[in-house]
Amino acid sequence: MTELARLSFSIEKPLLERLEKLLKLSKYANRSEFIRDMIRQQLVGREWDTDQQILGTVTLLYNHDLHKLSEKLTELQHHHHQNILVSTHVHLDKHLCAEVLLVKGRARQIRQLANKLRQQKGVLHAALSISSTGKSLA
Ligand code: NI
């Protein structure tokens, strides 16, 4: 296990009160883990901002009745096959489909892929969730 370091820092009282409120709302067991997670969140954001190799998911919601939409989405995914690790398709009802893609690659490529999917006519929602390959978090 990595050796722990203890630190102290100064913070304005109103900001500390907000931190305590966030802690209470998020139900973290302790302040240290909350702050560790905030740091990790910043590190992941930095990976995305600097176009590193990242991991993420794209969630799509669309109506498959729309002419050629399914084919277009499949074609786009084939074009970006190197960035898509796995995909899952769920038929939500008679018309609506949901797809989740686990994606990996340069942050810019992944954003482009998510944008292209989002911009297809008939896609009702496309959400990109950002995560990490974990290299900067170890
Ligand atoms: Ni479907």
Clarify whether residues 99 and 124 are in a common domain.
yes
Tell whether the model's pLDDT for residue 136 goes beyond 90: no
Between helices 107-118 and 31-49, what is the axis angle to 10°? 80
Q: Mark the residues whose beta carbon lies below 5 A from ion ligand 1.
A: 91, 97
Q: How many domains does the chain have?
A: 2
Q: For residue 2, is it within any domain?
A: no
* pLDDT band at residue 138 using 50, 70 and 90 as cut-offs: confident
116 CA distance to ligand 1 centroid (A)? Answer: 19
Q: For residue 3, is it within any domain?
A: no
59 CA distance to ligand 1 centroid (A)? Answer: 13
Q: For residue 1, is it within any domain?
A: no
Question: pLDDT tens digits for 117-129?
Answer: 999 999 999 999 9
Clarify whether residues 79 and 21 are in a common domain.
no
For β-strands 96-106 and 84-91, DSSP reports them as antiparallel
Question: pLDDT tens digits for 53-90?
Answer: 999 999 999 999 988 999 999 999 999 999 999 999 99
Clarify whether residues 61 and 103 are in a common domain.
yes
Domain that holds residue 40: 13-49
Clarify whether residues 34 and 88 are in a common domain.
no
105 CA distance to ligand 1 centroid (A)? Answer: 26
Contact 83, 104 (CB under 8 A): yes
Question: pLDDT tens digits for 17-55?
Answer: 999 999 999 999 888 999 999 999 999 999 999 999 999
Clarify whether residues 78 and 117 are in a common domain.
yes
Clarify whether residues 67 and 85 are in a common domain.
yes
* Burial state string for 76-98 with b = 16 or more CB within 10 A and e = fewer than 16: ebeebeebbeeeeeeeeeeeebe
Q: How far apart are CA 86 and CA 56, in angstroms?
A: 11
pTM value?
A: 0.86
Q: How far apart are CA 128 and CA 35, in angstroms?
A: 24
103 CA distance to ligand 1 centroid (A)? Answer: 20
Q: For residue 33, is it within any domain?
A: yes
